Structure 1
Amino acid sequence: MPVRTVPTKGPWEAPAVFPLGLAAITHRRFPPGRARIDDAFSLRHFADLTAAYGVDHRPELVREAAGNTFADMAGELLAALDPQDRRAAAATQAPPIDLAVVAHATPDLDCRLAAVTSLSERVPGDPLSFAVSECGSNAPFAALRLADAYARRHDLRSVAVFVLDQATFPYETGRDLAGDAGLALLLTDTGSLGRLTLWQRTGTGPDDVPAAVRTALAELDATGCPLVLGAALDPARDLPGHPGRIVRTPPGHPASGTLTALAADPAWAAGREERIAVVDHEPDTGDLAVCLIERGGR
């Protein structure tokens, strides 16, 4: 269960230019799955969990409901990455995946199944794998920052980041969730779809967002760049007078929504945009991220 904290201002950090290029991106919404959490174990588990947090346990919300685990969603996204990059592995000698990171804002459906354990067996190359959570909508950007650090320190050649949302819970979440969805990014030393530069700041309150975003865009030399805005951001309030095109992220998928809006944007997908920036703010934590994607390789 997420725990809300008061945003605390953190230090400015220099933008991180990723050593690996974007090789593939895929996203999808998932229909009802096969996994259920109305069995005896899950009833006991969620009764104990909700009691510990003072939340009402409502087992009727998941009675006979079938959802998707993060392991199943990550497996399907991994398979969807193959046609774009892995299919040509024999010809290009594409490297195995060295690191797999799972990012999520909502808890997994079934605590007995771990996506990172599943990926460690499914992903070619016997990769290191771990998960990132408790960052709200900034989870994918925290995962990218960690992936960048690992790639630099260990000279990795290929990293996969899986960003997942699921919406089946036996309690009220306080969020407007729109179902199960996910997105996967593949970053490699031969990736040619885009170069990523990530700017982050912690402790950014709502009133600080407009000035902080202007500063970030100026540091990234992206002041007039097309933008994809996270669901918590409003163009008129947070980016008044921005001269570039703006794509808004619909609510409902707190972790995967913003990057999915990027991947689904027709202009970017068709290669008509050379540069585009993704801007996300998580009000509960005060985390602000601006990720610039520039066409071409590393």
Structure 2
Amino acid sequence: MPALLAACGVVAPPRRSPEPTLSNLSYYRDLVEPFGLEVDETLLRSAPHVSHRDLVDRLVAAPHVRDSEPDLVIVAHALPDITPFTAMSPYLDRLLGGRAVNFGIHQQGLAAPFTALRAVSAFQRAGRSQRAVLAVLEQTTLPTPFPLVHDNHLVDSGVLLVLGTGGGPRIARVESVAATESAAARLGELTAKDPDGTLLVTGPWLDRDPLRQDIPAFHCNPGTYCTSVWLALARHWTDWRERYGTVLLCDTDPLSGGTHIAVLHSDRASDAAQGER
């Protein structure tokens, strides 16, 4: 099972100049006009213009990341990059040594990071990975209005997780609940074994109190789409592993209605004794 060794996040980094993006107007027109849309130059000029590369550059500067030496690198995102024809997983791999199998996961919406964790687990079970880096990226500069982004005032954000094979909270399972099924029922089953020792972390797209029970809970603030629970994990995981045996990360995709859950288990005494990052 993948174990969390280090994590970092970035939210709303400084805005960039719009000129490079505006130079790609012909590309954007070719992209959206076949679908009956028009490029909104005013929207583009007012956007932050923070690219996936900008987010990656900031994330790899964090302690315990640049020297992680991964053998597997995965980049997950739910929204497209501002810059066309960019491949971020080999770029991230090069920054971290250039020796990893690398690929990206996208066009899955909020599910992309959860799918990436399944991939890390599969690589580990096959003996093909001892240390993986997962980057979850979200940039909000788009050539046309997109209600999910603009109506909800999303901001640029990114998370990077270093995942190994020993120590730290372990990703015990990742699962999905279809829109036609009850996410609350499944969460109730997962918390029932140890309600006092389980922390339920819900993203902004899920009901603040889905179980209607008095159990430890953390609700993420609005402003992000697919990075929400991962930002919370990056900020609080060292505290959570000492206080809770189980942490459930859960959010519902507002576009598909599907709910995605990651279950982290900690041996609190063992993890604290190791004093990992």
The TM tier, using the shorter chain, reads: 0.7 to 0.9
Residue pairs, 1:112-131, within 5 angstroms? 112-131=85-104
CA distance change for structure 1 residues 223 and 71 in 2, over 3 Å: closer, same or farther? same
Question: Contact 1:28–1:182 at 8 Å: present in 2 too?
Answer: yes
- What is the Cα deviation at residue 126 of structure 1? 1.2
- What is the Cα deviation at residue 151 of structure 1? 2.2
- State yes or no: 1:193 paired with 2:164: no
Question: Contact 1:222–1:277 at 8 Å: present in 2 too?
Answer: no
- State yes or no: 1:261 paired with 2:243: no
- State yes or no: 1:32 paired with 2:15: yes
- State yes or no: 1:174 paired with 2:147: yes
Question: Contact 2:117–2:174 at 8 Å: present in 1 too?
Answer: no
Report the Cα distance in structure 2 between the residues aligned to 1:109 and 1:69, rounded to whole angstroms.
Answer: 6
Residue pairs, 1:161-240, within 5 angstroms? 161-175=134-148, 176-190=152-166, 192-205=167-180, 208-218=182-192, 221-224=193-196, 225-236=198-209, 238-240=210-212
Output the amino acid matched with 1:140: P
Output the amino acid matched with 1:68: V
SS in 2 for 1:146: helix
Match of 2:246 in 1: 275
Q: Point out which structure has higher relative CO (alpha carbons under 8 A, 6+ apart).
A: 1
Match of 2:255 in 1: 284
Report the Cα distance in structure 1 between the residues aligned to 2:160 and 2:256, rounded to whole angstroms.
Answer: 24
Match of 2:275 in 1: none
- What is the Cα deviation at residue 148 of structure 1? 1.3
| Between 223-232 and 30-39, the greater mean CA deviation after superposition | 30-39
Match of 1:111 in 2: 84
SS in 2 for 1:63: helix
Gapped regions of structure 2 (runs ≥ 5):
272-277
TM-score by length of 1: 0.78
TM-score by length of 2: 0.84
- What is the Cα deviation at residue 55 of structure 1? 2.7
Question: Contact 1:71–1:114 at 8 Å: present in 2 too?
Answer: no
Output the amino acid matched with 2:201: V
SS in 2 for 1:79: coil
Report the Cα distance in structure 2 between the residues aligned to 1:150 and 1:135, rounded to whole angstroms.
Answer: 20
- What is the Cα deviation at residue 265 of structure 1? 3.9
Gapped regions of structure 1 (runs ≥ 5):
1-17, 88-93
CA distance change for structure 1 residues 153 and 35 in 2, over 3 Å: closer, same or farther? farther
Report the Cα distance in structure 1 between the residues aligned to 2:120 and 2:227, rounded to whole angstroms.
Answer: 17
Q: Deviations over 1:82-129 (max 9, x none)?
A: x23666xxxxxx7x3011111111111101332113123212251111
Match of 2:107 in 1: 134
CA distance change for structure 1 residues 35 and 77 in 2, over 3 Å: closer, same or farther? farther
Report the Cα distance in structure 1 between the residues aligned to 2:122 and 2:17, rounded to whole angstroms.
Answer: 36
- What is the Cα deviation at residue 223 of structure 1? 4.3
Match of 2:222 in 1: 251
Output the amino acid matched with 2:162: L
The sequence identity of aligned pairs, in percent, is 24
Q: Deviations over 1:262-292 (max 9, x none)?
A: 3334883583334321112224234322222
CA distance change for structure 1 residues 69 and 86 in 2, over 3 Å: closer, same or farther? closer
- What is the Cα deviation at residue 155 of structure 1? 3.2
Question: Contact 1:195–1:293 at 8 Å: present in 2 too?
Answer: yes
CA distance change for structure 1 residues 194 and 266 in 2, over 3 Å: closer, same or farther? closer
Question: Contact 2:173–2:262 at 8 Å: present in 1 too?
Answer: yes
How many residues matched? 264
CA distance change for structure 1 residues 209 and 138 in 2, over 3 Å: closer, same or farther? same
| Between 278-287 and 163-172, the greater mean CA deviation after superposition | 278-287
Report the Cα distance in structure 2 between the residues aligned to 1:197 and 1:51, rounded to whole angstroms.
Answer: 44
Question: Contact 1:214–1:223 at 8 Å: present in 2 too?
Answer: no
